[in-house]
Structure 1
Amino acid sequence: MADKPKLEITLCAPRGFCAGVDRAIQIVELALEKYGAPVYVRHAIVHNKYVVEGLRQKGAVFVEELDEIPPSEAPVVFSAHGVPKSVPADAAGRNMFFLDATCPLVSKVHVEAQRHFSEGHEIVLIGHRGHPEVVGTMGQLPPGAISLVETVADAEAFVPQDPGKLAFVTQTTLSVDDTSAIVAVLRRRFPAVVGPHREDICYATTNRQEAVKQVAARSEVLLVLGSANSSNSVRLAEVGRRAGATAYLIDDAAGLDLAWLAGAKAVGVTAGASAPEVLVQGVIERLAEVFEVTVEEPDAARETVSFKLPKAVA
């Protein structure tokens, strides 16, 4: 048998689950343990097919809207992305028992938006139209209070009602570099614009993008484990391409096309904040079937952030 070609795999660190995702999944799992199936979940708890399917097999029932849930005492969990204020109000009106799995860092953006609004500011939200986090943030305030800006071109074209009373917040899972460029335009055009006390883009998004920049620069191919509807995973692939690697976003090892690695000697592997480590290990095992692999993981500061669980499941 011919020798396998050599392939050097460099794992990005950190990668995979963040504290907000871990908390959200725990809330569903603990609710299933404590209250039994079904546990209803409004929207995918996190944007990862493997995670959602695993919870579905345990008894979670995923719906997009509350009116899909039959009258029941079963718990209803709101996803990690956050929801408009109308959703918990609707749930309360239906006498539903609901658990809010909104990531605390998303909730922080909601609080910021409310504070800016209370202080009389018009608010710009930097984010992607239609993403559940954006829908949830815009739904914290009356219609028209928040204007969505998606690109540098949007920022150049935006016309506020009063340039002296303007504030911005951002989606937590954006490209750090893209967002910085948009913020730079807003600050140039509207010097009085008020920003967050601390960066809205979450620590996990920032850390994973920085790790990808370092690994992609020394890799020919970057494999990103994550689902196509995961904003932070899509951003990782974009960051990898900008750093010089050919990047592919795949759900799992089954999505790996070995033709992508023809002639490659060095491949980087990472996972979005909603993708579990088991998916990374699956890709390594698949590569090891074809290549003689060496696996390296550069030293990186370990993330120690954790968030409290709701009392109803703690």
Structure 2
Amino acid sequence: MAGDNYTRITEFLLLGLSGKQEQEEVLFWLLLCMYLVTVIGNLLIISAISCDPHLHTPMYFFLANLSSVDICFSSTTVPKMLVNHVVRSKSISYTQCMTQIYFFIIFINMDGFLLSVMAYDRYVAICSPLHYTMIMRPKLCVLLVALSWVITNLHALLHTLLIVRLNFCSNNTVHHFFCDPYPILKLSCSDTFINELMAFTVGGLTSITPFSCITVSYVYIFSNVLKFPSLQGIRKALSTCGSHLTVVSFFYGAILGVYMHPSSSYSIQDMVSTVIFTLVTPLLNPFIYSLRNHDMKGPLRKLIIRRLDLSRF
């Protein structure tokens, strides 16, 4: 009955990014601006795709879903941190923390799955252009996104339930700005072997599988592109992949640096990488896809001009 000696904590304390009051003030305004730009930028992408019939294609259907997930991803962690700063509190309730973990796992994995689906879309478009419309049918696109949601929800539920079963004793201080699963595991006074095992098996599988799909897709893409007779054809083919590859590099580069080691070795320095894929990548996505994509520039320009015209009346 050793479990009876545990004092179940009801809240965690989030120390934030720096832990120093003067730095937190600067970070508050910086993160608030980043969050607003992230939400507005991704909403513009979604609106432009919805309003322009020319963008009602599989590629932009996946992009609209990615923008939606990026908004939710940032909204899972940033607002609570901003509210805590305003009310001069560092606490987050146990229930809120577990909820944050659940949605964090969903959206981080959805980003990976959507990036892999987009890589497959580019593979079909470049390697089988004559069969593209036949392969990438609307039903298949919806099925791929729906299947991704089912897998990520089940994955998040598994890890959240495994964390809920743990006991947390006197130490409830989290050296992070949100309830990241790894720092939370470090606080547990229970045996976390099963959590570690599931993180490396199931968690690793749901992370490596999309990354492998992306890698395989681009191996086939590059091998086919090199067979093109003209340099212009090669440039045109690669230009459609440039934005996607940039986002993939940012996202997976940061994730591999943080989560491809045991939670026991998780350090404060890993927060830098965490900030990149939770805040920087969702922020940069709208700019990467709009500035590097000629198809997006026109609809976005029209949408912004239309909004400005309406605001004058």
Q: What TM-score bracket applies, with the shorter chain setting the length?
A: under 0.3
More helix by share: 2
TM-score by length of 2: 0.24
What is the TM-score with the length of structure 1 in the denominator? 0.24
More strand by share: 1
